[in-house]
Amino acid sequence: MAKLYFRHGTVGSAKTLNLLAVAHNYKQQGKKVCLVKPLMDIRFGKDKIRSRAGLEMLADVLVDSSTKLNLKELRGISCVLVDEAQFVSENIIDQLRDITLRLDIPVICYGLRTDFKSRLFEGSRRLMELADSIEEVKSTCYFCNKKSVMNLKHVDGVATIDGPSIQLGCEELFYPSCYGCYRKQIEDGKMGKIKKKIGVKSCVTCECEED
């Protein structure tokens, strides 16, 4: 039986670039791949899978929670590659697991493990439960040189854990972070909100607090 893979990493860890490289290698060998992406991800266009480095390919299948994958159309495919797997529903992950069993086709899913609130996404949680192989695509923290494990959301330069878990965005909204820097940035962000609320601001020259 072919395997179900989950390759996860923080924002900016080149997950999509990795996916496109794998797709290119298969195609260079004359093999067919099926590229899958969530219907909701329209950042670069409805059917485009695009890396931050600028490389892109067109998705073959767009999915949402109601999608029923057509197994007949996948016959002859060498590999199924899924981008932004964290946004995929449990129902789709179960179908992808079934593809590895019934069609003996490997499925490689790329995505975030957790949201900016440090909670597992639905698709990621199901992949953690079902995947044969769980691999980390490593990257470094934006604020230091440690390995990034968290996705830090910021609004106007202030870190926050407010808002819905599913939000589309890139560098303008999210930073890769180690856990230590994540905690510090969140705490600093909360202090910033308090200062703004009570009318306290920082001194430009010495960063002391004044009324």
Residue in the structure block whose two tokens are 């490289």: 21
* Non-local CB neighbours of 23 within 8 Å, separated by 6+ positions: 33, 35, 57, 81
pLDDT over 80 at 181, yes or no? yes
* Averaged pLDDT, 32-45: 87
pLDDT over 60 at 139, yes or no? yes
pLDDT tens-digit readout, 49-85: 988 777 899 999 999 989 999 999 999 999 999 999 9
The pair of three-digit structure tokens given for residue 16, joined into one six-digit string:
């999509």
Nearest CA to 109 out of 91, 118, 96 is that of 96
pLDDT over 80 at 209, yes or no? no
Domains and CATH numbers, the chain: 4-198 (3.40.50.300)
pLDDT tens-digit readout, 108-122: 999 999 999 999 999
Residues tagged active-site:
84
Q: What is the pLDDT of residue 136?
A: 97
pLDDT over 70 at 200, yes or no? no
What's this model's pTM, rounded to 2 decimal places? 0.85
